[in-house]
A = this chain, B = another copy of it.
Amino acid sequence: MLSEFDLIKQFFQRPRAGRAALGIGDDCALLAPSPGMQMAISSDMLVEDRHFFAGADPRMLGHKCLAVNLSDLAAMGAKPVAFTLALALPAAEPAWLGEFAAGLFALADLHGCELIGGDTTKGPLNICITIFGELAPGQALRRDAAVPGDDLWISGTLGDARLALAGYRREVALDEIALRAAGARMHMPTPRVDLGLALSSARLARAAIDISDGLAGDLGHILAASHVGATVDVDALPAGPVLAAQPQALRRRFCAAGGDDYELCFTAAAGQREAILAAGAASGSAVTRVGRIDAAPGLRLVDAHGQPLALQLAGFDHFASP
């Protein structure tokens, strides 16, 4: 039987090469931001049957639970530094743990993000990561910084993760190839870390958020915090390649209020358009202008002709009735 300490040693303790002054193995890790920098800190907890299916592929799960945290750093424009991992497991299964760690560390290494500590315990499967990035004071892309007249931008594409969920639930008929392609967006999201960093370090964007609960809901947090409104051209929203082949009504709905997209939604002055397109190209993330910030409160969804659209939308709320 694998003990708690063997488990950590075998799967999660690696030769030290990171930034932390002290990593796994003491009561605390020791970490300092670079001189003059702030730490950006975020926690996400992923629960079986809520954020992922029971029996989910452990390698993809290892990727996803770090990806959603990296996405929070991206939305702030922070550079990833380190993370802690707290893990409740029904049992210590070496095969599962090996795959989980492989998926986790592949993404961590891609972003130079070091595992510095955490906790393991027996219990219903639950994965809680707290992530640490760094940025200069004043560099953060805050939710309260949008200004009327700002352009509204989206990275990458939207809706394929939500389409995959509909496919798994058999609410939408998808062939196997389509389901697999859309499912990859759900299980292996790409955090837009380089884009976020480019937007913040060159002060290209004002406000930003990552889209985890659907664009309408998450954009709503920017609007509320900034005391502004927005007009979004729903037909300009960049649908994922699988969703793009679906009927217009579904495309509009899953783009405007999907979920699990982990793309960035950000605002920027009109004078930054060229620079933002260049930053998108340089960071390997498409960026699309989809609307504008208004002084009048509220979110207005319009079609390609500027006509108001009445869509039934709801952001995801973990405690809402099903």
Contact = CB atoms under 8 A, between A and B. Distances in A.
A63 interface: no
Interface string A199-216: 000000000111000000
A2 B140 contact: no
Given A45-B121, A73-B28, A3 B319 contact: yes
**Nearest 7 Cβ contacts at the A-B interface:** A47-B123, A28-B40, A128-B128, A27-B75, A45-B86, A130-B130, A124-B124
Given A37-B32, A42-B29, A45-B126, A51 B3 contact: no
Contacts of A32: 33, 37-39, 137
A47 to B, nearest CB: 3
A128 B47 CA distance: 12
A60 B234 CA distance: 49
Counted per complex, copies of this chain come to 2
Interface in A43-64: 43-45, 47-51
Interface of A: 1-5, 7, 21-22, 25-33, 37-45, 47-51, 72-73, 75-76, 78, 84-89, 91-92, 116-124, 126, 128, 130, 132-133, 135, 137, 140, 142-144, 208-210, 225, 317-321
Given A32-B137, A43-B117, 11 more contacts: A3-B319, A21-B137, A29-B41, A30-B41, A30-B76, A41-B116, A41-B132, A43-B84, A47-B124, A51-B121, A86-B128
A126 B40 contact: no
B140 A317 contact: no
B319 A2 contact: yes
A34 to B, nearest CB: 11
